[in-house]
Amino acid sequence: MSPFPRLDLSREIAETLILQGHLDLANLQGALAEIEGRITPGTKLIVDCNEMTDYDGDARAHFVTWHREHREHIKAVAILTHRPLWHMIVSAMALASGQRMKAFDTREQALEWLQTR
């Protein structure tokens, strides 16, 4: 272990959206509206779903539609989740939205992937 403190450059690599609890359409729309103002061409995005407990189908559908509509500005999306089933769902959402999107267990894995995009 290095005696030097680690510098957290994650903010410079990607914008982060944290989703918590049960995600319904209204909560998702509010979260996306908040981050939308920080998106510029080439933005990389981390969506942290580790504190999410569940989501509604209409929220998932809106998430896919939103990413389809914003994919020309968002270069890649890393989704953080420890749930194996959600990893498969993220793959399906990536196909449906046409967005470069992948699920990861850790922030470090997500940042490493985003740095290569």
21: left (phi over 0), alpha (psi -120 to 50) or beta: left
Q: In the CATH scheme, what is the homologous superfamily, with its name and number, of domain 14-115?
A: SpoIIaa-like domains (3.40.50.10600)
Helix count and strand count (H, E) for the chain: 5, 4
pLDDT higher than 80, residue 55: yes
pTM assigned to the model: 0.87
pLDDT higher than 50, residue 83: yes
Q: Which of 33, 111, 57, 55 is nearest to 79 (CA)?
A: 111
Q: Which of 14, 16, 57 is nearest to 34 (CA)?
A: 16
Q: How many whole angstroms separate alpha carbon 4 and alpha carbon 7?
A: 9
pLDDT higher than 90, residue 13: no
